Structure 1
Amino acid sequence: MHQRVRTEFWGYAPHEQLDNEALIDEKYQGIRPAPGYPACPDHTVKKELFELLDAPAIGMTLTEGYAMLPTAAVSGFYFSHPDSRYFGVGKVSRDQVESYAQRRGVSVEQAQRDLASNLGYNA
Structure 2
Amino acid sequence: YLELHGLSVQLAEALAEYWHSRVRAEWGIGGADPASMAGMFRTEYQGCRYSLGYPACPDLEDRAKIAALLDPGRIGVELSEEYQLHPEQSTDAFVVHHPEATYFNAGGRRL
User: Structure 1 segments of 4 or more deviating over 2 A?
Assistant: 10-28
TM-score (norm 2): 0.63
Greater helix share, structure number: 2
Alpha carbons of 1:69 and 1:14: their partners in 2 closer, same or farther (altered >3 Å)?
Answer: farther
Shift of 1:55: 1.2
Distance 2:99 2:23 in 1: 15
Where structure 2 has 5 or more consecutive residues not aligned to the other structure, the ranges are 1-18, 106-111
Q: How many positions carry a matched residue from both structures?
A: 87
Q: 1:3 aligns with which of 17, 21, 36?
A: 21
Cα RMSD (Å)? 2.5
Deviations along 1:68-110, one digit per CA (max 9) or x if unpaired, are 112222211111111111139xxxxxxxxxxxxxxxxxxxxxx
CA contact (8 A) 1:34 1:75 kept: yes
SS of alignment partner, residue 78 of structure 1: strand
TM-score (norm 1): 0.58
Greater strand share, structure number: 2
Residue 32 in structure 1 maps to residue 49 in structure 2? yes
Question: For residues 1-123 of structure 1, what are the structure 2 equivalents within 5 Å?
Answer: 1-8=19-26, 10-13=27-30, 16=33, 22-87=39-104
Distance 1:57 1:18 in 2: 37
SS of alignment partner, residue 45 of structure 1: helix
Where structure 1 has 5 or more consecutive residues not aligned to the other structure, the ranges are 89-123
